[in-house]
Amino acid sequence: MTIADPAQASPGSTAFHHTACTLDCPDSCSLEVEVADGRVTKVRAAPPEVAHPLTGGFICSKVGRISRHLYGEDRVLHPALRDGAKGTGDFRRISWEEALHLIVERMIEAKTAFGGESVLPLSYGGSNGLLTQDTADAILFRRFGASQLARTVCAAPSTAAALGLYGKMAGVALEDYEHAHLAIVWGANPSSTGIHLVPILRAARARGGKLVVVDPRRTPLAKQADLHLQPRPGTDLCLALALHREFFHRGAADLEFLAEHATGVDDLRRRAEPWTFERAAEVTGVPARDIARCYEWYNTSSPAVIRCGWGVERNRNGGSAVAAILALPAVAGKFKVRAGGYTMSNGAAFRDVGRREPSPGTRIVNMNHVGRVLTDPDANSGPPVQVLFVYNANPLATLPNQELVRRGLKREDLFTVVFDQVMTDTAAYADLVLPATTFLEHDDLAMGYGAMVLHDTKPVAQPVGEARSNLRVFGALADRLGLLRDDDPRSEAEWRQAVLGRRRQRRLANEGLVLPETGRRPIQFVDVFPHTADRKVHLCPPSLETESARGLYAFHAEPGGGRYPLALISPSVPQTVSSTFGQLRRGQVPLEMHPEDAAARGLGGDKPRVRVFNDYGEVRCRVRLNADLKPGVALLPKGVWARSTESGTNACALAPDTLTDIGAGACFNDARVEVEALSDVSARRP
Ligand SMILES: Nc1nc2c(c(=O)[nH]1)N[C@H]1C(S)=C(S)[C@@H](COP(=O)(O)OP(=O)(O)OC[C@H]3O[C@@H](n4cnc5c(=O)[nH]c(N)nc54)[C@H](O)[C@@H]3O)O[C@H]1N2
Ligand SMILES: Nc1nc2c(c(=O)[nH]1)N[C@H]1C(S)=C(S)[C@@H](COP(=O)(O)OP(=O)(O)OC[C@H]3O[C@@H](n4cnc5c(=O)[nH]c(N)nc54)[C@H](O)[C@@H]3O)O[C@H]1N2
Ligand code: SF4
Ligand SMILES: [Mo]
Q: What is the pLDDT of residues 206-251, one digit of tens each?
A: 999 999 999 999 999 999 999 999 999 999 999 999 999 999 999 9
Task: Examine the pLDDT at 684 and tell me if it is beyond 90.
Answer: no
313-332 pLDDT tens trace: 999 999 999 999 999 999 99
Q: Is 451 in the pocket of ligand 2 (CB under 6 A)?
A: no
The Cα 401–Cα 670 span in angstroms is 12
> What is the 189 CA–ligand 1 centroid distance (Å)?
6
Cβ atoms of 513 and 30 closer than 8 Å: yes
Arithmetic mean of pLDDT, 660-678: 97
Share of the chain above pLDDT 70, in %: 96
Q: Residue 13: which pLDDT band, with cuts at 50, 70 and 90?
A: confident
Look at ligand 1, atom 16, and give the residue with the nearest C-alpha: 310
Cβ atoms of 26 and 451 closer than 8 Å: yes
Q: Residue 681: which pLDDT band, with cuts at 50, 70 and 90?
A: low
The Cα 228–Cα 290 span in angstroms is 8
Q: Is 24 in the pocket of ligand 2 (CB under 6 A)?
A: yes
First to last CA, the chain: 52
Cβ atoms of 547 and 662 closer than 8 Å: yes
Candidates 151, 184, 310, 661: which one to mutate for ligand 1, based on the most atoms within 8 Å of Cβ?
Answer: 310
Nearest-ligand number for the alpha carbon of 577: 1
Name, in order, each residue with C-beta under 8 angstroms of 523's C-beta and a sequence gap of 6 or more: 335, 336, 337, 338, 340, 341
The Cα 529–Cα 330 span in angstroms is 12
Residue 410: which H helix or E strand, with range?
Answer: helix 402-410
15-39 pLDDT tens trace: 999 999 999 999 999 999 999 999 9
pLDDT of 599 = 95
Arithmetic mean of pLDDT, 140-159: 98
49-77 pLDDT tens trace: 999 999 999 999 999 999 999 999 999 99
> What is the 155 CA–ligand 4 centroid distance (Å)?
6
Question: How is the chain split among helix, strand and coil, in percent rounded to 5?
Answer: 35, 20, 50
Task: Examine the pLDDT at 674 and tell me if it is beyond 70.
Answer: yes
> What is the 24 CA–ligand 4 centroid distance (Å)?
7
Q: Is 418 in the pocket of ligand 2 (CB under 6 A)?
A: no
Which residues have C-beta under 5 Å from ligand 4, the single-atom ion?
Answer: 154
pLDDT of 685 = 47
Give the position, in ligand 1's atom list, of the atom nearest the Cα of 574: 1
> What is the 569 CA–ligand 1 centroid distance (Å)?
10
The Cα 329–Cα 182 span in angstroms is 12
Arithmetic mean of pLDDT, 673-681: 85
